[in-house]
């Protein structure tokens, strides 16, 4: 019976580990207040570094951006010359952050829709 219990415990542990690997907790959550009183809540997650087709490393983090109306966007971290850039696959929703500041670009012309956003301390 002990082996059966131990086996069950091992299976439970493996299942719990797999579940936590699929939905990790954010390493940070920041509320941003932007121009015109607009707000964003951004959850930051870590991830494994990927390799781009040209062989360059690509950061593996991602964010979940929640707009004031409840719309959410899950964005992968992409290469950036300065700051941290996260984008959807079609590059039509891009969240940039640097220090305490951030902004959002949307659409094919990358219009800045959330400007001068500042992270608020909890």
CA distance 42 to 40: 6
Output the pTM of the full model. 0.74
Q: All domains of the chain, ordered by start, with CATH?
A: 25-120 (2.40.128.200)
Task: Give residue 82's pLDDT.
Answer: 83
Q: Residue 28: beta bridge partners?
A: 44
Task: Give residue 45's pLDDT.
Answer: 96
Across the chain, which has 122 residues, the per-10-residue mean pLDDT values are: 40 37 79 96 93 85 95 92 90 95 95 96 66
Task: Give residue 50's pLDDT.
Answer: 85
- In this structure, are strands 62-67 and 72-78 parallel, antiparallel, or unpaired? antiparallel
Handedness of CA 74, 120, 47, 86 (dihedral sign): positive
What is the CA angle 110-69-91, rounded to 5?
25
CA distance 97 to 118: 9
Are the CB atoms for 117 and 34 separated by under 8 Å?
yes
CA distance 32 to 54: 34
Phi-psi region of 3 (alpha: psi -120 to 50; beta: other; left: phi over 0): alpha
């Amino acid at each position: 019976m002990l082996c059966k219990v131990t086996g069950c415990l091992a299976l439970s542990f493996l299942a719990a580990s797999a579940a936590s690997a699929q939905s990790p907790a954010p390493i940070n959550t920041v509320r941003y207040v932007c121009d015109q009183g607009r707000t964003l809540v951004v959850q930051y997650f870590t991830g494994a570094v990927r390799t781009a087709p040209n062989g360059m490393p690509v950061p593996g983090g991602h964010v979940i951006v929640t707009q004031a109306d409840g719309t959410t966007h899950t964005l992968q971290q992409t290469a950036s010359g300065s700051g941290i850039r996260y984008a959807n696959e079609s590059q039509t929703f891009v969240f940039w952050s640097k220090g305490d500041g951030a902004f959002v670009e949307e659409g094919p012309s990358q219009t800045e829709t959330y400007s001068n956003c500042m992270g608020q301390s909890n």
